Chain A
């Protein structure tokens, strides 16, 4: 009976929905170029955002260390920027920068700022006074103490901040899809708009996770290379 029923409905021209699988290897193989372009954009947006956050945060951390009075207000401001939703940051920057990657980069850099800033401040604070005193006793200049003693010793904490900021940024880049620069997020969004194209949404989401895990691993290796003494 079921066989007969199936034949009957086919004969009646009942439209069966087109298959829409979540996991499709043929999607991956037929869209390698799109995935590669999206991945490159995703990577570039992430690197630019984190780099911009570092360029602002590290000098700011040094300033805050010189002028102790600024520490609380600067960290509080960073906290506010960190709390503001990325969607809101992007929307505020949109009227200024429009359809440009800078809308996404600046919004995400402001978000990542606090993580790098706080870890740099805490990392520099954690440098043992003995090490600084010893360097001064050996005739190191203030700059040399900073670059040769304090920064290296604070490196594990600073790099941990950069790592956390990078992984969160990879996830947040996807929201940039709303202004046309979202890397894998643009694929996710267009998949959603194109009639819930499951394979595209799922593949791009997984690609995003893979990218984050790869970058996390790379930064961990970098951390080990840059701070050989922590492995003792």
Chain B
């Protein structure tokens, strides 16, 4: 325990390329790039499939099978594939593959589960096509989509620590070095930092989600969470 405190208070661990701030930023950078790419791919596809009420089987199977795909394996595949190779890029690509299925499925379900009475009323008022999507379906799907984004982001930030196994950066570097040198202090310090980042992200996003959810839909969002 004392050794752990010493490690955290050692100024040498707070500077340079292997310092805590650098590793922290690396992990956030890897996660952020992966999330942005995954969002740009998954959300439009999920929303359009939901809006057109097509490809439901595809949208749901992607989510189901996606959960079964081991990120560790995908990471190794990318790292061993010459055009990508070891490093952060392999981790970013693996995290994109990891994040797309839940995002896509949630976006699809989010649009599909919009109350039939709500969309019916809107249709009666002359809403259709893009207008229906923008003014009715999307706002009503926000709680579910943002819940999906939040879960995916937290999981991506947590999983990004695997990057160090394939020679990338991030907080996992301490864990990997700790395993390699049998240094328990380094191992536990890395674990604590990764955990703090993941839990911090979760808290931050829970707060952001509250702000992003339209007031009228908040109650229902809680009901969904309880039911999921």
Asked whether A177 and B72 contact (CB < 8 A) given A85-B161, A88-B191, the answer is yes
B69 to chain A, nearest CB (A): 6
Q: How far, in whole Å, are A17 and B227 apart by their CA atoms in the complex?
A: 55
Whether A205 lies near B198 (C-beta < 8 A) is no
Contact among B69, B72, B80 with A209 in the assembled complex (CB-CB below 8 Å): B69
Contact among B80, B195, B226, B227 with A85 in the assembled complex (CB-CB below 8 Å): B195
A112 to chain B, nearest CB (A): 13
In the assembled complex, A63 has its CB within 8 A of some CB on chain B: no
Q: For chain A residues 28-50, which have a beta carbon within 8 Å of chain B?
A: none
Task: Sort chain A's interface into a size bin.
Answer: 35 or more
Whether A170 lies near B198 (C-beta < 8 A) is no
Whether B70 lies near A178 (C-beta < 8 A) is no
Whether B194 lies near A88 (C-beta < 8 A) is yes
B139-167 interface code vs A (CB 8 A; 1 in, 0 out): 00000000000000010001101100110
Number of chain B residues close to chain A: CB under 8 A: 39
Whether A85 lies near B194 (C-beta < 8 A) is yes
In the assembled complex, B15 has its CB within 8 A of some CB on chain A: no
Contact among A167, A178, A213 with B179 in the assembled complex (CB-CB below 8 Å): A178
Q: How far, in whole Å, are A173 and B194 apart by their CA atoms in the complex?
A: 19
Q: For A204, what are the chain B residues with a Cβ–Cβ distance below 8 Å?
A: 73
Q: How far, in whole Å, are A87 and B80 apart by their CA atoms in the complex?
A: 21
Q: How far, in whole Å, are A209 and B68 apart by their CA atoms in the complex?
A: 5
Residues of B within 8 A of A (CB): 64-65, 67-74, 76-77, 79-81, 154, 158-159, 161-162, 165-166, 172, 175, 178-179, 184, 187-188, 190-192, 194-195, 198-199, 202, 226-227
